[in-house]
């Protein structure tokens, strides 16, 4: 993180962290709102020149929300990379979302070119930033960002497991009628239909869900979790989920900026953890002031290992299609 303490003649002044959102569409707009409401720092919404008016307008609208909400974050919109210098945290949603009938992998052709361009600019303008990638297909996009930027592995992470685990938690809370606050669970692996919900470790208030929900209903919840993004794509008809993805990424950014050391399932670069080597895949990740500080490796059952290997095959295939 950059040093935010400046010694002025009048004493210490604290400058706020700078959070730059690459892509100011559906997720980008919500990221700006949520980051401002948590007062994580000052926020810049960046988009292509064609969308400059849109992001400037969103920024102004969010500034005018300040008197009602009371946050003091400064929010601006731009299409000029020079405005992103000294950024502390980037959150990247640049690219196109899915339409009904599309897999996340179908977005690769268009979004890869965008990610390469974004990575090159970020490397030039803010080489010390912490970067959270959201664009899909996630596991390949975060891999591409890492390859092209050359950033160290602790400063690059993908948002997927946080969202997938949140969806799993949501469905368990809906099934049991109990508070979602007390549901703990994790979803590992790639951000696609082959993701791996670790149901064995899911609890409500510490009580195993396997003692609360029948095996048939648990299976249905796992299946719904795997395709939860697609369920929303179908309902929208034109675009993909944005509220929950935005909040999931904000949790990650907050953990970095406030050194919370939260344990969040994230797409992190594995070098041996869970038997995975050289790929970004969803694993329990400690995020603190050092970025990705640690991956919490633990022993999977034979079935879980087999499922993780299947999801890894899907990730490897998409990554190989990037040609990187
Ligand atoms: N640089 C910056 N922004 C870009 C670029 C680029 N090179 N190319 C496209 N964008 C912008 C678009 O102009 C648009 O405003 O990215 C924004 C994407 O916003 P939406 O189309 O509303 O998509 P959103 O729902 O926010 O999803 C973005 O996240 O979850 C993933 O699959 C989803 O890949 C998609 C991404």
Judged against a pLDDT cut of 80, whether residue 11 lies above it is answered with: no
Tell me phi and psi for residue 270, to 5 degrees. -90, 135
Asked whether the predicted pLDDT for residue 2 surpasses 80, the reply is no
Which pLDDT score, from 0 to 100, does residue 137 have? 96
Q: For the chain, what percent of residues have pLDDT higher than 70? A: 96
What does the pLDDT read at residue 8? Answer: 45
Q: Looking at the structure, give the CATH architecture of the domain made up of residues 5-158.
A: 3-Layer(aba) Sandwich (3.40)
pLDDT above 80 (res 105): yes
The arithmetic mean of pLDDT across residues 17-43, rounded, is 98
- pLDDT tops 50 at residue 7: no
The pLDDT tens digits of the residues spanning 54-74 come to 999 999 999 999 999 999 999
Summarize pLDDT for 197-249 with one digit per residue, the tens: 999 999 999 999 999 999 999 999 999 999 999 999 999 999 999 999 999 99
pTM: 0.96
Q: End-to-end CA distance of the chain: give it in Å, rounded.
A: 28
pLDDT, residue 219, reads 98
Mean pLDDT value of segment 245-261:
98
- Strands 5-8 and 42-46, by their bridges, are unpaired
Determine whether the shortest distance from the Cβ of 129 to ligand 1 is under 6 A: no
pLDDT at 3 over 80: no
**CA 51 to centroid of ligand 1, rounded, Å:** 11
Residue 108's pLDDT band, with cuts at 50, 70 and 90, is very high
- For the chain, what is the mean pLDDT? 95
Average pLDDT, integer, range 163-185:
98
**pLDDT of 196 higher than 90:** yes
Residue 256 confidence (pLDDT) above 90 = yes
What distance in Å separates the CA atoms of residue 236 and residue 125, rounded to the nearest whole number?
Answer: 36
Residue range 138-161, pLDDT digits in tens? 999 999 999 999 999 999 999 999
Is residue 241 lining ligand 1, measured as CB closer than 6 Å?
Answer: no
Mutate to test the pocket of ligand 1, among 94, 125, 247 (most ligand atoms within 8 A of CB): 94
Q: Cis (ω within 30 of 0) for the bond into 137?
A: yes
- Cα–ligand 1 centroid distance for 241 (angstroms): 12
Which burial class, exposed, middle or buried, applies to 288 when counting CB atoms under 10 A from its CB (0-12, 13-18, 19+)? middle
Q: What's the whole-number mean pLDDT along residues 183-192?
A: 96
pLDDT at 15: 86
User: Is 60 exceeded by the pLDDT of residue 79?
Assistant: yes
pLDDT-derived band at 103, boundaries 50, 70, 90? confident
DSSP letter at 71 equals: -
Instruction: Answer yes or no: is pLDDT of 118 > 80.
Output: yes
User: Do the domains 5-158 and 161-320 sit in the same CATH topology, yes or no?
Assistant: no
**Is the pLDDT assigned to residue 12 strictly greater than 90?**
no
| C-alpha 162 to ligand 1 mean position (Å) | 19
Q: What is the pLDDT of residue 1?
A: 54
68 is catalytic: no
- pLDDT score of 194: 94
Residue ranges per domain, the chain? 5-158, 161-320
pLDDT in tens, 287-312: 999 999 999 999 999 999 999 999 99
Rounded Cα distance, 151 and 147, in Å: 8
Residue 95 Cβ contacting ligand 1 at under 6 Å: yes
What CATH number matches the domain at 161-320, 1.10.150.130, 2.60.40.10, 3.90.110.10, 1.10.3720.10?
3.90.110.10
- State the DSSP string of 237-305: SSS---HHHHHHHHHHHHHHHTT--EEEEEEEEEESGGG-EEEEEEEEEEEETTEEEEE---PPPHHHH
Maximum pairwise Cα distance, the chain: 68
């Amino acid at each position: 993180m950059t040093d935010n303490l400046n010694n002025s003649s009048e004493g210490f002044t604290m400058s706020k962290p700078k959070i730059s959102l690459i892509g100011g569409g559906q997720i980008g707009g919500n990221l700006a709102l949520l980051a401002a409401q948590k007062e994580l720092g000052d926020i810049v919404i960046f988009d292509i020149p064609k969308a400059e008016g849109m992001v400037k307008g969103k920024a102004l609208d969010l500034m005018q929300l300040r008197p009602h909400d009371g946050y003091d974050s400064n929010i601006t919109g731009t299409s000029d990379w020079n405005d992103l210098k000294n950024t502390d945290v980037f959150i990247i949603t640049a690219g196109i979302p899915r339409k009904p009938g599309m897999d996340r992998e179908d977005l690769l052709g268009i979004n890869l070119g965008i990610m390469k361009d974004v990575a090159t600019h970020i490397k030039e303008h803010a080489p010390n930033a912490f970067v959270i990638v959201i664009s899909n297909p996630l596991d390949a996009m975060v891999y591409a960002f890492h390859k092209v930027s050359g950033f160290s592995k602790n400063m690059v992470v993908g948002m997927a497991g946080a969202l997938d685990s949140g969806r799993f938690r949501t469905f368990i809370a809906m099934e049991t009628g109990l508070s979602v606050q007390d549901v703990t669970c994790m979803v590992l692996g790639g951000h696609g239909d082959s993701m791996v919900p670790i149901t064995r470790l899911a609890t409500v208030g510490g009580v195993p869900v396997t003692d609360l929900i029948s095996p048939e209903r648990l299976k249905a919840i796992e299946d719904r979790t795997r395709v939860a993004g697609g369920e929303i794509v179908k309902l929208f008809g034109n675009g993909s989920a944005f509220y929950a993805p935005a909040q999931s990424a904000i949790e990650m950014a907050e953990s970095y900026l406030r050194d919370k050391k939260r344990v969040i399932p994230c797409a992190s670069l594995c070098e041996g953890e869970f038997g995975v080597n050289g790929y970004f895949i969803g694993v329990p990740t400690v995020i603190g002031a050092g970025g990705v500080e640690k991956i919490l490796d633990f022993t999977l059952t034979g079935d879980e290992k087999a499922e993780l290997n299947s999801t890894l095959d899907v990730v490897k295939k998409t990554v190989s299609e990037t040609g990187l």
